[in-house]
Structure 1
């Protein structure tokens, strides 16, 4: 019986989680694969900073040492940034190794190229860990929803931002206080920009788009907004109305391409993402046969991400070739009217007729239905306004209890400054 020999590129939180999981789950792995799984080599930046329990494992800072291992079947990459991970994986493919990656930024940029390269060399590529940690989102879309036509994907895919927003709401603290708590707990890096400004979520959205629809949207046309400008006072106000602020990715494909956004939105109790709190992640998928399904679980961390990688290791035997669907277009309205909450103290002012007023909270907010382009036009002329898209059905009973006035404006008027 031949062992399966693997190499780990990177030995941070994720790399160590994979190493420990393989060591502690040998019996289970052998029962499934019929072979032992052996870590043959580990690539690190500084050899002096690391120690391994197994003296038979090569510990090196030189990637060529990894490539020159006498037996090597699978290369697992958990390095931050586009390079050198991309180059390392291409060379691993050329050697004939299957590859697995947890690097969402690299895969967002180079995923399609890697998949095609792996196919050319007749090896497999696993990347479940690039999106939502331990949640099997990619395998679900790729293998369990083949007949279903995916119409829409929404998700909370960054645990750091979700933790911060949850703490701001539950403990009524400011953004900086919640961010500091996230850093102390290890949820946020010393430089949290990628998480709080939406870059991490953006990369994951690109991977999901490629998997679900066979292509990515034009990056420059994607709305990407972070959470750093959100006020805790606004969060408490929304809570009074039964709404929660969530940082959500949204994907939908139509004849004109992929519509994608990564931004804070308001979520009502009827929406599947409403109760996803703390560092939890969730992916909500709407498909034409099954309807809506929601996958929820830990989106990051040592063992959730290691779980995704090790499960990929199991799937490699049966999953060679492209993971990407080639979806036909799903028709959607070019720019539909959706619900928005406009925060303003001057709630008695008229709005353009392109904005359908649902209700008003005196001196606090106006609830409207409108196209995104019309909201953007309104905000361009009124810098002091803030607008949040609202997901799920609004609680009309609550609105009535707040003594909101139902108003519909049919007369087109100019928007006064400062509304």
Structure 2
């Protein structure tokens, strides 16, 4: 193994922590629709996804090369910069997980890296061409392509199934969902696990432990694959609920077409070295499948909050990464301060999440239906809606953070399994 200094070791461990959060944050990409339609039990689904994520991590290193050798210039990048980038990415992952919003772990990582690199070496540290062609364009194109493909596939599926009984059709598509969910999990491993491989490789190059331009060592591939698999197994239940119930109501046919369309987009991008967001692809596919069924709807209030999170991911992570880099310029004291801030923030977010536990036991509870003229008490407690807002925001995690008033209707009452606050 390469010569690893203490600081470099801290950076590698932090990168694996990010990989772990990536796993439970993005489990919903593969398994939300399979869980919501009942094709697989929740724990079985996440276990299957974990194994396939691990397998996928060994299938390609093209995306890892984009991160380690393409996005930022290796010259002048020190391990401290990468540590700062990881701080921004981890915190954004945890914040969006807390509120149950599917956002891109990939863009959080790249945003943190860009912010930290610019803070230490200026705008010239970022390869603008790579950023545009392999990050920004795929970020916009992926949900659109996956959504259109899923919508068309759903329409075709229902037309072909007209002469087949509903129960027979649903049973067949449940089996198809299991297969397509496995394909998405495999695709996730080929794309997202490699981002951590790339960031660790970049750290090893920056720390002088690897020659510039090196590919990820085998031990990096193994450790990154195991970290994302472990995170996947624990399950990001909050985001699974949003993806499976919050965006639209899915039938097995729609779940199958959504997952198959997303997997095709992700696998194609991995082979091309595009650092694609699996979250964007899967979310777009779910919405497309929702629109593809006659009478199907998309809950645009939830989708709008998700779109806002997508837009904030790169700049928010970049600002945190840049701030962490500036603090660490003070030396060892600055590095220690940033590390303590990261640990304290992670603990605080976890403690807040315990107020309303979402796990495999209650992940499939229905979201409240959107109703004109109704604003849930929870969202009112969190933020003041814009003037004229009428749509309810379907988010069980936020809604359950305060007690329901005595006059609350059955649809607005928090689930019975939720602990009292």
TM range (shorter): under 0.3
Higher relative contact order (CA 8 A, sep 6+): 2
Structure with more of its chain in helix, by fraction? 2
Structure with more of its chain in strand, by fraction? 1
Which has more radius of gyration? Answer: 1
Structure 1 length as normaliser, TM-score?
0.25
Structure 2 length as normaliser, TM-score?
0.25
